[in-house]
């Protein structure tokens, strides 16, 4: 198991990586692509998202440049989006446009949400949560939800690590366009492991693999937290 100091350093490096990547992040993302091959891959995830019971007060963790924030704003009374990287929040503010939305630079592990939400959403964040913080992560999600509130998330399917050097012990080496190298957390939980981790914190849910490329999960907080 990783020592606390090593874990802190890894998380700091991960934050530096996302801060440095914010300006070019959207260039690497394919969600707005109209390439038919990519659309075939992405449409089932977009359909899954459209069917989610997103409502009311929404919290988004790790919003990045706001690719999903826009969609959350359209379906909520208010969306509050947080990210640890100020540069990501700046991009998200610029890209989301009008709507009932607020942004906050915050480390989800250090900031206990001041409110409870009807919906908590995160995309491509779970695979950056170190195994030693998994319980804490789901505890934060559960305590941010109202009774019967919904959590939903999308991420890369297990073992989709072709694009990076992945050491298999939960750490990946990423190289940015400027040549800088960064060690980040990259884990590969199975759907069953995620379902169990949610259940441990009083969230009943399901996790599915879509197109062999994505994980999509949805869960509901039970009436009383365990
Ligand atoms: C892979 S990106 C995904 C961004 C966005 N959700 C998307 O789907 O395009 C992961 C994001 O999570 C943020 N993040 C990582 N650790 C975080 C933490 N502890 N607290 C808040 N945000 C975090 C990163 O800064 C980054 O913007």
Q: What is the pLDDT of residue 35?
A: 81
Q: Is the pLDDT of residue 163 over 70?
A: no
CA distance 119 to 80: 10
* Pairwise pLDDT comparison (125 vs 41), residue with the higher score: 125
Q: What is the pLDDT of residue 75?
A: 95
CATH superfamily of 4-221: Vaccinia Virus protein VP39 (3.40.50.150)
Cβ pair 2, 10 in contact under 8 A: yes
Mean pLDDT along residues 186-204: 95
Mean pLDDT along residues 49-62: 97
Pocket of ligand 1, candidates 10, 84, 93, 144: which has the most ligand atoms within 8 Å of its Cβ, to mutate? 84
Ligand 1 center from residue 83 Cα (angstroms): 6
Find tokens 């789901």 and name the residue: 138
| Closest approach atom of ligand 1 to CA 22 | 27
b/e per residue 177-215 (b: at least 16 CB within 10 A)? eeeeebbbbbbbbebeebbebbeebbbebebeebeeebb
CA distance 113 to 101: 16
CA distance 82 to 70: 14
Cβ of 66 closer than 6 Å to ligand 1, yes or no, is no
Q: Around 17, how many Cα atoms within 13 Å sit in the side-chain half-sphere? A: 18
Ligand 1, atom 1: closest residue by C-alpha? 124
pLDDT tens figures, 89-138? 999 999 998 889 999 999 999 987 777 999 999 999 999 999 999 999 99
Q: Provide the sign of the torsion angle of the four alpha carbons 118, 122, 123, 129, taken in this order.
A: negative
- In a 3-state reduction of DSSP, which class is residue 160? coil
Cβ of 157 closer than 6 Å to ligand 1, yes or no, is no
SS (H, E, C) 85-125: CHHHHHHHHHHHCCCCEEEEECCCCCCCCCCCEEEEEEECC
Which sequence spans correspond to the domains of the chain? 4-221
Ligand 1 center from residue 127 Cα (angstroms): 10
Average pLDDT of the chain, as a whole number = 91
Helix (H) or strand (E) holding 59: strand 57-61
Q: Is the pLDDT of residue 164 over 80?
A: no
* Rounded percentage of the chain residues whose pLDDT exceeds 90: 68
């Amino acid at each position: 198991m990783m020592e606390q100091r090593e874990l802190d350093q890894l998380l700091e490096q991960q934050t530096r990586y996302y801060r440095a990547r914010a300006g070019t992040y959207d260039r690497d993302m394919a969600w707005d692509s109209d390439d038919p091959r990519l659309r075939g891959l992405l449409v089932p995830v977009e359909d899954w998202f459209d069917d989610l019971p997103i409502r009311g007060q929404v919290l988004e963790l790790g919003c990045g440049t706001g690719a999903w924030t826009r969609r959350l704003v359209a379906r909520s009374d208010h969306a509050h989006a947080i990210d640890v990287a100020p540069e990501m929040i700046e991009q998200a503010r610029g890209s989301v446009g009008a709507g009932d939305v607020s942004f906050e630079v915050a480390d989800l592990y250090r900031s206990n949400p001041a409110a409870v939400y009807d919906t908590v959403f995160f995309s491509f964040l779970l695979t950056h949560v170190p195994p030693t913080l998994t319980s804490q992560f789901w505890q934060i999600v559960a305590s941010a939800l109202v009774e019967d509130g919904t959590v939903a998330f999308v991420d890369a399917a297990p073992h989709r690590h072709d694009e990076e050097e992945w050491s298999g012990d939960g750490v990946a080496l990423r190289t940015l366009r400027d040549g800088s190298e960064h060690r980040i957390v990259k884990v590969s939980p199975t759907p069953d492991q995620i379902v169990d981790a949610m259940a441990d914190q009083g969230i009943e849910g399901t996790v599915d693999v879509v197109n062999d490329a994505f994980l999509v999960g949805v869960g509901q907080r039970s009436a009383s937290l365990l």
